[in-house]
Amino acid sequence: MVHRRTTLADVAAEAGLSKTAVSLALNGSEGVRLSAGAIERAKAAAKKLNYRPHSAARTLRTKTTESFGFLSSEITVKKWAMEMVTGALRKADESKHALLISESSEEPIRQARALEAMVDRSVDGIVVAEMKARQVDAPDVPDNIPLIFANALGPDEYISILPDEYQGGREVVAAMLQGRLRSNVAIIGGHPKQESNLRESATIGERLRGIRDELKSNGIQKWIWIEAHDWTTAFGYEAMTKLISEGTIPDAVIALNDEIAAGIYNACNEFQIKIGEDISIVSFDDSEVASILRPGLTTGRLPYTEIGELAIEKLISKDMTPELILIKMPVKIRQSVAH
């Protein structure tokens, strides 16, 4: 059996008021000449009948749809990066906005279809989000729909929100340098192309710059650097195994991400090198991997939750002044640094 949707006329009949009076009462219109009792009767009737204003009519009245779009390339299928969606959802809920989430998997047709659906629904703004921070183009949407780039570098005329990787690089190294092992340092991961090509990475160059500047400011002018384009556990293991086999065992290692660090842990365990005693290891991301390694891994946390929250806050504020916003990367201190 199909239940008929409760209408404004139904609420008016229940409250003993005109439809206009009920509409004014429920919308909280300022300056209306309705008694407190009439307003209360209208609200009570609407609650009793489970009345919900028609979204199209509300849109015509307020010029908003109370909804935002969240367009990502691969965030929603990566459990770790889902923190950005969680932050965005939290802020959307607080402001009573719906969040329309779409995953394009970097496929142009899927992205176009998702954007079309968001535009057709007249969303009040769109968050363009990336898991791997990189420079991206603005999607083709009407000028009246604001865009925010989250963990992505958009064109100069938009707001972009990124982790403060330079600060993160310096603070992770500073945490490592608090330990007693620091004379022979290795950096494992990173690649010159990731520093020079913003479309490949908008942040890795800053991370490496922060690492190098902090080392130099503490009197460390030389270090071992093993480059890699793909940052995997297998690469971390192979790189560290090679160093150990060649007799070039660093007493402090900076891994460019937690996956690499996990491989370094495996190599150290295989050669009976005690992490946090014989060697210091620090890393970046604070992913799930970091939470299960033993001893615990000191690492710089990517502020995905904060980026998602701020993106929605900016859309709610309607202040679209172009700027690049950098979010602090807090360092999670654990037991991988030898003291």
Residue-wise pLDDT for 172-217, tens only, equals 999 999 988 778 999 999 888 888 899 988 999 999 999 999 999 9
Q: Which CATH number fits the domain that encloses residue 134?
A: 3.40.50.2300
Q: Are residues 49 and 149 in the same domain?
A: no
Residues 102 and 99: their CA atoms lie apart, in Å, by: 10
Q: Identify whether 334 is part of a domain.
A: no
Q: Give the residue numbers spanning the domain of 25.
A: 8-53
Q: Are residues 77 and 92 in the same domain?
A: yes
pLDDT at res. 2: 44
Q: Are residues 297 and 246 in the same domain?
A: yes
Q: Are residues 179 and 152 in the same domain?
A: no
Q: Are residues 178 and 189 in the same domain?
A: yes
Residues 329 and 285: their CA atoms lie apart, in Å, by: 9
Q: Are residues 22 and 149 in the same domain?
A: no
Report the first-to-last Cα separation within the chain, whole angstroms.
71
pLDDT at res. 39: 85
Q: Are residues 192 and 282 in the same domain?
A: yes
Q: Are residues 131 and 218 in the same domain?
A: no
Q: Which residues of the chain have pLDDT under 70?
A: 1-4, 28-32, 53-65, 74-81, 105-106
Q: Are residues 286 and 296 in the same domain?
A: yes
Number of domains in the chain: 3
> How do residues 274-289 score in pLDDT, each as one tens digit?
999 999 999 999 988 8
Instruction: Quickly count helices (H) and strands (E) in the chain.
Output: 13, 12
**Residue that is written with structure tokens 């079309």 in the block:** 116
- The answer to whether 149 touches 307, Cβ cutoff 8 Å, is no
Q: Are residues 185 and 282 in the same domain?
A: yes
Look up residue 14 and give its two tokens.
């229940």
